[in-house]
Amino acid sequence: MRIHPRYTQRGAVVILGGATLLTLVILIFIIVFILEKGLPVLGWNFLTSNPEDMGRSGGIFPTLIGTIILPLIAIIIATPLGVFTSVYLSEYTKETRATKIIRFGTDCLAGIPSIIFGLFGYIFFVITLGMGWSLLAGGLTLAVMILPTIIRTSEEAIRAVPKSYREVSFSLGASSWQTVKKVILPNALPGIVTGVMLSIGRSIGETAAVIFTAGSSLRIPTSLLDSARTMSVHFYILAREGISAENAYGTAAALIIAVLLVNLSAYWLMNRFISKRS
């Protein structure tokens, strides 16, 4: 039996539209739920004062510092490493067995659960290299964790630059590096930035890898070798140990807003960059 295209078309619209709607509803529900519980607690005072009594009362100031510093260290280390690697893989090597193995390896790395990275960071950075629970150990662990994502998204962005741009650049007497610098990277930048932003979001929200490597000290860190607690870890501890559901939601709301701010500023930056070029 053949169904008339008019009906299959209608069915498709319902299913596709329904899926989109459901996704949106779930997203909005989560955000509204957290904000509703968290916003009453969240205020300037909450953000800028020190926690008291293990976080039962007081604010989250030290964890705010931790949440800024840790992803910052990770991004500063992982972005150049990741972007250079992806440029090398896509522009300086021809497709061979070796590059395929490297690409497969990064895919595997990207899929490893973050707690494994935490364990690795604990054994390698914290114990073997003697960094102790510290911002440095945590930042390096996060860097290792997000590196595969940055490599893969950058590589995709670089591959999306039309081959004809490369041909033109080479035909005008450019070396590989000049082509990368003047044509490839500027055109791949929006894609690269997206990958970096995703990674920042992931590191802000990361708990398992951080708790093993940066520890959970509630003191304000004064050096890279000090232990620190991020908002995600703080939230985890407050909720897991039943210290304060109120403050846990306040922290969660702060987290969500932080991630939102990162994404919004990324879009703003990117749009500015694109409109400047065209």
Partner 1 sequence: MKTKFQIKDFSFYFNEEKVLKNINFEIEANSILGIIGPAGSGKTTFLRSLNRMNDLESGYRIEGNILLDGIDIYKPEYDVVELRKKVGMVFAMPVPLPMSIYENVVYGPRLSGVQDKKRLDELVEKSLSSAYLWEEVKDRLHTSGMRLSGGQQQRLCLARVLAMEPEAILLDEPSSGLDPISTAKIEDALTVLKKSYTIILVTNNTKQAARVADNTAFFLMGELIELGTTSQIFTSPVKTQTDDYITGRFG
Q: Which residues contact partner 1 by CB under 8 A? A: 94-95, 162, 164-175, 178, 182-183, 186-187, 277-278
Rounded to whole angstroms, how far apart are CA atoms 217 and 139?
Answer: 15
* CA gap 246, 64 in Å, rounded: 17
Q: What are 187's strand-pairing partners?
A: none
Tokens 């953000």 belong to residue: 47
* Residue-by-residue DSSP string for 178-223: HHIIIIIHHHHHHHHHHHHHHHHHHHHH--HHHHHHT----SPP-S
Which CB sits closer to partner 1, 164 or 223? 164
CB of 79 to partner 1, least distance (A): 23
Q: Tell me which amino acid residue 38 is.
A: G
**Which one, 52 or 95, has the nearer CB to partner 1?**
95
How far is Cα 102 from Cα 187, in angstroms, rounded to an integer?
Answer: 24
Report the candidate in 91, 122, 90, 121 with the shortest Cα–Cα distance to residue 106: 90
Nearer to partner 1, 57 or 93 (CB): 93
In angstroms, give the least distance from the CB of 272 to partner 1. 16
**Rg (Cα) of the chain, in Å, rounded?**
23
Cα 258 to Cα 29: distance, rounded to the nearest angstrom: 18
Q: Which amino acid would we find at residue 82?
A: G
Cβ neighbours of residue 156 under 8 Å, at least 6 residues apart?
191
